Amino acid sequence: MTQKKVLILSYYWPPSGGSGVQRWMYFAKYLKEFGVLPTVITVDEQYASYPNKDMSFNELIKDIEVHKTKTLEPLRFYSFLKSGKSNKVVPQGNVGGKKKGIFDKIATYVRANFFMPDARVGWNRYAFNKAKELLQKEHFDLVITTGPPHSTHLVGQKLKKEFGINWMADFRDPWTEVYYNNLFKRTPKNEALDQTMEINVLHDADSILTVGPSMMKLLADKVPHQKDKFHYIYNGFDAEKFQQLKKQKNETFTIRYVGTLSENYPYKTTIEAINQLAIDKKSLTIELIGNIETSVLEYFQENCLFPITNILSVSHTEAIQFMKNADMLLLLLPFMKHAQIMLTGKLFEYLATENPILCIGDKKADAAAIVNQLANSKSFEENETSEITQFIERIHKKEWSNLNTSLDIQRFSRYETARELSEWIKNRKN
């Protein structure tokens, strides 16, 4: 079969760190093995506003053709005013975090109402011009835009109108329903504008890809006459990295949470359940790995009866090592409307460790349904404190069976998800 060529527009790209970059970084890494040749347009890291960087990602994409552009970044200006450095205080989701002064409140309002649909829309002009340049020189079978930032989809929309290209929009998170939109005070006019932009993108794209069945349904229901163009492919885990790392034993039974943790997660239930454990206080440790909101960390430290450790800013490889070494992994699902849709990339990395997973949140969520297929893992609602305590005690006493599950974990490897994507690309009608 003739090789397909795809042009991928992604704001997040190495050396950007975090979870947002990994989906298309890994897709691009493996697509060529399945007859799909990727070319990437992204932001030059000198101009981008990345919350964090992971230089180890650069090695993974060294053989991919990448074109980097300038951008206009209000978040860099915000960071400079807050810290004197353009990349030191780049917020994720909500400008300024939970405790906001007058400057943060003004910045949040400006961000919500003067940069539609998001604060990275300043990249669009540069991304469009570079894509236009490439499209005038060579043929691409498919142009792919991925969001957040969902402003990137507006570039794909404009390219389709000008060049008649085949365009796929990938949604890693929802658009208007994303949880941090509730923290913004948008005018009714801008709320309506945001919804209109989303509907138009969903309508105009030739195909829509997303990360799981519930988010696919959420988006497809907005354009019900076009449901056949929607598809989902799960995020996954880097099997090669997992094979290279060996599990190390902890001095005490260690429960680890890896990732971002803020006020809209059921962390208080976690502490309440742990405090009820009828075990020696020196026999268990809780480790929070990643960006933990200050108020959440303080609550852990003030209220948890067991030792608490917080480790900030680790590389992806280090994060995987922490996951692999855990005796139990904690997965907290955020409080939000449409909570069922949330499927973080770390869930699949949790699965790859084969360690017990304690999931707390909506049992109807896609993530909870996957966790419940494992023999040594379980999901609970926020109010099931006693049941959570009993589950932790069973795991602590090693009263669970080995990982005998019908769930094929290897299907979530990044290699296999890229294979699935390549097949969908080849089978889609242009």
Write the pLDDT tens digit of every residue in 269-328: 999 999 999 999 999 999 999 989 999 999 999 999 999 999 988 899 999 999 999 999
Q: Which of 89-103, 275-289, 397-411 has the lowest mean pLDDT?
A: 89-103
The pLDDT of residue 79: 43
Q: What is the pLDDT of residue 95?
A: 38
CB 42 within 8 A of CB 52: no
- What total of structural domains would you count in the chain? 2
pLDDT of residue 119: 86
**pLDDT for residue 91 is more than 60:** no
Sole residue written with tokens 């940069």: 115
Do 368 and 397 belong to one domain? yes
Please report which confidence band the pLDDT of residue 21 belongs to, taking 50, 70 and 90 as the band edges. Answer: very high
Residue 243 and residue 146 share a domain? no
Does the pLDDT at position 429 exceed 80?
no
Whole-number pLDDT of residue 330:
98
Do residues 143 and 273 both lie within one domain?
no
Q: Does residue 279 sit in the same domain as residue 154?
A: no
Shared-domain flag, residues 75 and 218: yes
User: H helices within 288-376, ranges in order?
Assistant: 294-303, 316-325, 345-353, 366-371
Considering only CA atoms, give the Rg of the chain: 22
Q: Which of the 8 DSSP states describes residue 410?
A: G
pLDDT at 75: 54
CB within 8 Å of 399: residues ≥ 6 apart: none
Model confidence at 203, in pLDDT bands (50, 70, 90)?
A: very high
Domain with 364, as residue range(s), is 239-409
How many residues are listed for the chain in this entry? Answer: 430
Determine the pLDDT at residue 107.
61
pLDDT at 50: 85
> Taking Cα atoms as reference points, which of 257, 269, 370, 236 lies closest to residue 308?
257
38 lies in the same domain as 125? yes
What is the rounded average pLDDT of the residues 55-59? 93
pLDDT of residue 89: 42
**What whole-number distance in Å separates Cα of residue 111 and Cα of residue 120?**
10
The CATH number of the domain holding residue 387 is 3.40.50.2000
The predicted pLDDT at position 405 comes to: 62
Q: Could you give the residue ranges of the DSSP H alpha helices within 227-344?
A: 239-244, 267-275, 294-303, 316-325
Please state the rounded mean pLDDT for residues 86-99. Answer: 45
Region 402-420: what's the mean pLDDT? Answer: 84
**Confidence band for 80, pLDDT divided at 50, 70 and 90:** very low
- The answer for residues whose C-beta is within 8 angstroms of residue 390's C-beta and 6 or more apart is none
| Domain match, 227 and 340 both | no
* Number of Cβ within a 10 Å radius of residue 252: 12
Better-scored residue on pLDDT, 412 or 49: 412
Q: Does residue 115 have a pLDDT over 90?
A: no
Instruction: Assess whether 394 and 423 both reside in one domain.
Output: no
Q: Is the pLDDT of residue 116 over 60?
A: yes
pLDDT band at 49 (very low <50, low <70, confident <90, very high): confident
Q: pTM for this structure?
A: 0.88
Mean pLDDT to the nearest integer, 404-425 = 90
200 and 329 within one domain? no
Q: Cis ω on the peptide bond leading into residue 307 (within 30° of 0)?
A: no
Determine the Cα–Cα distance for residues 292 and 142; give it in Å rounded to an integer. Answer: 39
157, 251: one domain: no
Are 250 and 376 members of one domain?
yes
**Are 265 and 225 members of one domain?**
no
Residue 89 · residue 79 · CB < 8 Å: yes
The secondary element (H helix, E strand) that includes residue 38 is strand 36-43
Q: What is the arithmetic mean of pLDDT over 357-371?
A: 94
pLDDT over threshold 70, residue 222: yes
